[in-house]
Amino acid sequence: MSVIIIGGGQAASEAAMLLRQAKFDGAIAIISDEAHLPYSRPPLSKAYLAGETHVDSLLLRNAAAYETANVVVRLGERVERIDRVAKRVELRNGDPLAYEQLILATGGRPRRMSIAGAELENIFYLRSIGDVDRLRASFMPGRQVVIVGGGYIGLEVAAVAVKAGLQVVVLEGAPRVLARVTSPQMSAFYERFHKAKGVDIRTGIAVSGFRAAADGVSVGAVECGGDLVLPADFVIVGIGLLPNVELALDAGLVVDNGILVDEASRTSDADIFAIGDCAAHREHGFLGRKVRLESVPNVNEQARVVAAAICGLPLPALSPPWFWSDQYDLKLQMVGLSEGYDLLVTRGDPATNSFITFYLKDGRLIAADAVSRLSEFMAARKMVAGRLEVDPAALADEATPLKSLIGRAAA
C-alpha cells in the first residue's frame, strides 16, 4: 500500500501521522510546494506577525519526527497532474509517482483584489511565512496601514499593528465586521473594542481602486468609492480564501466550492480523499448540510477521518465546527454556526470583556461565541454538540454553572 499526500500544510502533516498511529505500514509521501516543513498558520496573523515567536516554533513537527514515522516529505515540489487511470501523480519536474490512495490536502490561497492599481507594490496578502516576512519590513511605528477586510485575519492584523504603534484603518464592505461568522451583537462588541484601541474601522466601504505613491510603483492611497480616498503607506488585504481545487477539477473530480467529499472524506473517486481547507463536506456529519470549513479543528477532524477510512477502522463522529481568534488579550472561541438563530442569550457583561453569547433555534442550542471564557467554552461545546434544549434564563444566570445545565437537559 502507498499513500501520497498532496500539500504540505497542517492537513497533510496530521493525516500522515494519524495514518501511522492507526498502524498503516505502507509508504507515505507528502509532496509540498513550500520551502518549510508543514507549519501552523494561525500564529501568522498573531504572535509571528508581532515578532513574538520564531519561525522554528511554527513547525508542527521537526524533520526527525517525519523520519521516525517513516514519512517522506518532499519540499519545493509541485504536483501538476493526477492520472487517475494509471494511478499516479506527475510532478513539475516530470517525475511520475504511483499511488494506491491519494489524499488531496492542497488548502487554499488568498482571494486577490482585481481593481485598478491592485498590482502596485506594498499591497500584501497573508497566508504563508514568506507573506509575513515580506510584510514585516513595512511594519514600522507611525506608518499608516489600510487593511481591506474586517474578518478574522483583518482584525487580528489590526490588533497587532495598532499595538506596534501603526496608524490602522480597517475597511469592510459589509455593514459590520465579522458579518459572515457571527451576530450583530458580537460584531458590535469587536468594533467597539478595536475603536477604543485606536483602530479606525469603517464599514459599508467598497474599495474601488489603489493609487500609486510619488514613486509610481508603491501604493499611496486607497479609493473607497465616491470622494473618499485614504492615504496608505501599505495595504493588507484579507478578503477570504479560494480553495485550491484545480488539480481535482482537471482530474475530473466533483468540485463545488471545494472538492466534494463524503463522510469518509472520499472524493468522487474511491481512491482519492480530500481534507482541510480544499475540501467541502457534501453533508457535514454534525451540520447535516454541505459546508466547506477553514479551521484547524476541522483539519484535525478530517485527518482523523481519512486515517480511519484508509485503515478500515470505524469513522469517528464529527463534532460541531469550532474556531478561535485572538485579538489583543481577547480569546474568542466559537462553536456551531449561529445562522438562523431565533433567540440570543448573553451570559456575563460584555463591558467586562468576558462573556458568552448563546444562539438558540426552536428552543435548542445551535451555537455559542465565548469571549475569554475558556473553561465555560468547554461546557458550551458539549451543549451545542448535544443540541440541548435549555432554559434561556438559566443560560444567562451566572450563578448557574453551565455544567449543571448539561446534566439537567439530559435528565
Contacts with ligand FAD by CB under 6 A lie at 6-12, 31-34, 41-42, 44-45, 78-79, 105-108, 126-127, 153, 244, 247, 276-277, 294-297, 299, 323-325
CB-nearer residue toward ligand FAD: 82 or 383 = 82
Q: How far is the CB of 99 from ligand FAD (least distance, A)?
A: 13
Q: How far is the CB of 358 from ligand FAD (least distance, A)?
A: 21
Contacts of 56-62 with C-beta under 8 Å, sequence gap 24+, read 58/129, 60/10, 60/13, 60/14, 61/13, 61/17, 61/37, 62/37
CA 162, 46, 49, 291 torsion: positive or negative?
negative
CB-nearer residue toward ligand FAD: 187 or 244 = 244
Task: Give the residue carrying C-alpha cell 499511488.
Answer: 99
Q: How far is the CB of 71 from ligand FAD (least distance, A)?
A: 15
User: Could you tell me whether strands 272-274 and 101-104 are parallel, antiparallel, or unpaired per DSSP bridges?
Assistant: parallel
Q: How far is the CB of 77 from ligand FAD (least distance, A)?
A: 7
CB-nearer residue toward ligand FAD: 59 or 343 = 59
Task: Give the residue carrying C-alpha cell 497532474.
Answer: 81
Collect all residues with Cβ–Cβ distance below 8 Å to 245 and sequence separation of at least 6: 106, 255, 258, 259, 278
Using CB atoms, what's the residue nearest to ligand FAD?
107
Q: How far is the CB of 49 from ligand FAD (least distance, A)?
A: 8
Alpha helices (H) along 128-284: 129-136, 152-163, 184-196, 246-250
CB-nearer residue toward ligand FAD: 117 or 321 = 321
CB-nearer residue toward ligand FAD: 164 or 296 = 296
CB-nearer residue toward ligand FAD: 227 or 329 = 329
Q: How far is the CB of 362 from ligand FAD (least distance, A)?
A: 28
Q: How far is the CB of 104 from ligand FAD (least distance, A)?
A: 8
Cell numbers placing 33: 510546494
CB-nearer residue toward ligand FAD: 267 or 325 = 325
Contacts of 217-226 with C-beta under 8 Å, sequence gap 24+, read 217/120, 217/121, 218/120, 218/121, 218/122, 219/117, 219/120, 219/121, 219/122, 219/123, 222/146, 222/148, 222/171, 223/116, 224/171
